[in-house]
A and B are shown apart, each in its own frame.
Chain A
Amino acid sequence: MLNRLRELSDKFLDSAASKVQSFTGETERRQLVARLKSIYDDIRMRLEEQILHINSAIDIFNHKVGELNQYRVSTVQKNITNLGLFLCQFGSLKHVGNFQSEEKQERVVLPRKQFEVVESYIDHVDWSKDDVFSKTFFKSVFGVRRETLKLNVEATTRIGELELSGERSIELAKWKEQCVNEDIEILDMYQHSVKMISETIEEKVIPEMELIQAFLQCDQIKNQVLANQEIAVKENGDISLLTGTLHHKHFQFIKNTFMFFLLSSKIYNTPVLTNLMNNEKHDQERNEVLQYKEMIAEQQQKLHSTRIS
């Protein structure tokens, strides 16, 4: 009988406590805090996962940039030297300039500061049982109800903001991954073009250079004989005189060689790919992608401006 009475009184007390918690908004606060934590965990997990993907792509990009730089300092430089030695007989070549390496990309890190703000807010609204008791004790049921309901409105707003900013961060991170993959594709195309130029030089230009040089020396000797001059091998003269003559093809070869020299020099002394990805407009984009944390913070400030205090 006593047990039955105790059970009944426990039930009654539980029911009364539940009603009071419902009235004061405590039940709702607990649900909101649980939801806030769950959304926070979900967003953080998805973003961390996305950042792993981005960094994996960045690693591939950086590895390929290393390969490209290596190719430029070995093969491209060797070709420039060969072409330069040949061409300097027909004109004056500008200084090629120093080697400039293509830059690697920085790895992306989690926007910790942003998450710290959310964590701090969760701590602020996640009252312990002692907190609830002391608030109820000192502020009365009606006082604590007013405070809790106000806090619940704010927490609901925060949840909405967190969902929006979180989804945005994830979406921007997906774009970042896509951009890095595109950068890899562009790098591949550039590398392919560089190799294509170098291989053409190696296969079609360098083997012919000695022949052209010999021919032009023979032609010079022939002219000296005809002019009854003393025979001597001198520097080649004005090659533009070959245009429109039987020896126009030699002029064309030298011009083509010069074009290859120009392009190879540019590939060697300029970080073409880095410039392409870091041009003025692209800088803006790059900053935005890399620093999306700041953008989120700025937008969140705007959102907070209408939040009830």
Chain B
Amino acid sequence: MKMSEVMEARTALLEKEKKVYLTTVNQINSQMGGLLQKDLGSQFVSNCGRDLAGELVRTFFDTTDYHITADQLMRRMLEFSYQNEYDPLGNNEEIHKLIYNYNDGPTSSTLNNIMTDLEQSKTKLFEKEKVVLDNGKTKSSYKDRGIIQKGKKAYRDQKTADQSGVEDEFTGKAESKSQNSLGFDVSNLDVDHTQALSTAYVYNRYLKEGGEERIREFYNSSENFTMMNKTANQSKGDVKVFDKTGNDITHRATPDQLADAVVQRWENIKGEEARGKLVEGGYLNEDGKVPKSVKAKLTSELKKSQNGESRTILKETDYKAVSKDAGKHAAKSLGKIVGGQVIYYTMPPLLYEMKGIMKDKHITLDNALTKLEQAGKRICKYVVSKLKNIFQGIAQNGLKTFIKSFFDILINMVKATVKKMIRLAKNLVLAVVDAVKIIGDKSASAAQKADSVFTLFSVTLTTFTVEILFEYIEKQFAIPEPLLLPLQIISTIICTNFSLLILQKADLFNVKHGLLIANIEEVFAKENQRYMDEVRSLSDSYSHDVERKLLEIQEETTEIARNLMDINLYQDSVQSDLESISEIFSMGIDFEKEWLDFLEVAN
């Protein structure tokens, strides 16, 4: 044994330590690079892509009631492991996905059932009957003509009592009167029902007793009356609005749709005399077009009337009946809600286990069965550990489906601005339900909860605003029907992700910052610990090795000392013992050569 081996062990130890340190530094560098690199652009594109995939499946394949999107489920299945699972339902990640789920697409079975229920209970508000006139002729007239005439008279009297006098509310022209063939004064202005009685319907299913009568009274109140040119009034008579498939949707048409239909009717009026009267009355200009101011007034009056009607409907609604039907729809969706939870919690571990078994190249039938049994136990254990989450998920999603159905019934009963307000209320109430879940999450900090709730409400309002904006854009640019829904989905996703990006960047509650700090600390703690463990292991191994080497050398020198003590210099050679000392301490003496040199020089 040479003493130089001890030195070499020392050098080797330091070289190894240097390698461990460099590896640690490289690991830290690479992980820090990942943490500090903020590629918001690709994050935005990636999120939009995933959201689009999820939303297209949800909208066109009616998967709303599963309360998990296809892209989330796919990612969970691909990335699942028992130690580190992607769990968007368990934690408060991807809040915006919850918000997308607040509104259903056209394929939604729940929404279609609601519409069917409403259509089945739809009844005409004003029925007509044949009336025999004084001259013996018959005429079709409303059964409620009494309240109709009374309402009209009251309105005209009210207008006449005004100091400014009676005037056309659409053109501002003063009333003019002429005598008819019987010598009576006849006005050129009619008291017009803004929303025509012929297209007035109610959904009896959800009205309180006497509600229908209140709505009928509304239709003959000042809120549904305007002073209009007689010719204009007569010519718009039974104007109707149809959807793209030809269904009559006049009773639920928007103010803009109704105004468009009336404007078209006026612009295409037949007969020169009637056209001349409309031009004279200010309803058509010289080019035969309805002036913008007239159309705007018409839209505004329709909106006012529809809002008034909606308020009356809401007052007269039997909310118990609405709740009962909402409960019925939620119960129908229960299968999908439970299915969603079961798939979410059982499929990913199942696929994970299958993947593990399939990857094993040495699998045989016998050990496959054993492994399957073990895998089954692991899956059961995992699912049992998630039972609380499953039941909470079912309860919460059931409640949300109930709230959605409740509001969807109301939304489809009302019109105009009130409809939008109830849509907003629906989104906010659903956001509150989600916020309660977020606030109740014991694993999140106060700042995280505040951040999640703030994001939830911000994105809720953003999506609602986008929805309203999209209605405006749709009207302004006449987007073709097939493109409408995809465009709306895309614009909602882009705006939502953009607002999320802004919120993420603003990080008002320092949550992202806190997470970054925690991650940096974790990287250093983990790598420092790894470095120290490896270095201590190296040190232990070195100490043991050097101790052994020094002991061997100690034994060797002791042996040499014993030999020298006992040696007879006349008989024994000391050369091997001295050579050993030379070797131990790397003296580099060639005893034999030196001896020969000594003798040769002598000769």
Contact = CB atoms under 8 A, between A and B. Distances in A.
A276 B7 CA distance: 8
Contact of B557 (A157, A189, A258): A189
B543 A308 contact: no
Given A159-B524, A182-B6, A266-B589, 12 more contacts: A160-B521, A163-B528, A171-B539, A204-B569, A239-B599, A258-B598, A259-B575, A260-B574, A263-B587, A275-B586, A285-B11, A307-B32
Contacts of A200: 564-565, 567
Interface stretch (A49-57, A104-112, A225-233, A249-257): A249-257
A64 to B, nearest CB: 15
Interface stretch (B16-24, B118-126, B148-156, B263-271): B16-24
Contacts of B570: 249-250, 252-253
Nearest to B33: A306
Interface string B507-529: 01010010011001101110110
B229 to A, nearest CB: 59
A281 B532 contact: no
B110 to A, nearest CB: 43
Interface centre among A172, A262, A279 (most CB of B within 10 A): A262
B585 A160 contact: no
Contacts of A118: none
Nearest to A250: B570
A143 interface: no
Contacts of A289: 14
A279 B22 contact: no
Interface string B559-602: 01100110101111111001001101111010100110111011
Contacts of A279: 4, 7, 586
A157 B32 contact: yes
Contact of B29 (A205, A259, A302, A308): A302
B561 A196 contact: yes
A235 B517 CA distance: 90
Interface residues of A, number: 78
A303 B29 CA distance: 6
Contacts of A263: 578, 581-582, 587, 589
A93 interface: yes
Contacts of B524: 157, 159-161, 163-164
B32 A281 contact: no
Contact of B599 (A91, A253, A260, A308): A91
Main secondary structure of the interface of A (DSSP, over half): helix
B585 A273 contact: yes
Interface in B203-221: none
Interface string B461-475: 000000000000000
A61 to B, nearest CB: 15
Interface in A201-249: 204-205, 208, 238-240, 249
Given A182-B550, A306-B29, A252 B571 contact: yes
B28 interface: yes
B10 interface: yes
Interface in B7-59: 7-8, 10-11, 13-14, 17-18, 21-22, 24-25, 28-29, 32-33, 36
B22 A240 contact: no
Given A175-B13, A281-B11, A149 B21 contact: no
Given A160-B524, A164-B24, A259 B586 contact: no
A197 interface: yes
Interface string A182-193: 100110011011
B518 to A, nearest CB: 9
B86 interface: no
10 contacts: A164-B531, A175-B13, A182-B550, A186-B550, A196-B557, A204-B567, A208-B569, A266-B582, A281-B8, A285-B10
B554 interface: yes
Contacts of B567: 200, 204
Nearest to B546: A182
A163 B527 CA distance: 11
B344 to A, nearest CB: 35
B528 A167 contact: yes
B3 interface: yes
A276 B4 contact: yes
A25 to B, nearest CB: 7
A121 interface: no
A8 interface: no
Q: How large is the interface on B (under 10, 10 to 19, 20 to 34, 35 or more residues)?
A: 35 or more
Contact of A167 (B29, B532, B546, B597): B532
A122 interface: no
A189 B574 CA distance: 19
Contacts of A252: 569-573
B553 interface: yes
A275 B7 CA distance: 11
A299 interface: yes
Q: Which 10 A-B pairs give the minimum distances between C-beta atoms?
A: A160-B524, A249-B570, A91-B602, A92-B601, A91-B598, A285-B11, A282-B7, A256-B574, A200-B564, A256-B569
A288 B20 CA distance: 15
B539 A175 contact: yes
B247 interface: no
A197 B581 contact: yes
A168 interface: yes
A302 B25 contact: yes
Contacts of B539: 171, 174-175
A259 B591 contact: yes
B603 interface: yes
Contacts of B513: 25, 149, 152-153
Nearest to B525: A160
A137 interface: no
Contact of B10 (A152, A190, A282): A282
A153 B521 CA distance: 10
A157 B520 contact: yes
Contacts of A152: 513, 517
B535 interface: yes
B602 A90 contact: yes
A98 interface: no
Nearest to B586: A276
A249 B543 CA distance: 47
Contacts of B557: 189, 192-193, 196
A239 B29 contact: no
A238 B546 contact: no
A238 B532 contact: no
Nearest to A296: B21
A189 B569 contact: no
B517 A259 contact: no
Interface in A281-309: 281-282, 284-285, 288-289, 295, 299, 302-303, 305-308
Contacts of A250: 570
A262 B589 contact: yes
Nearest to B507: A149
A172 B21 CA distance: 12
B482 to A, nearest CB: 46
A272 interface: yes
Given A197-B581, A262-B591, A275-B586, A306 B554 contact: no
Contacts of B575: 255-256, 259
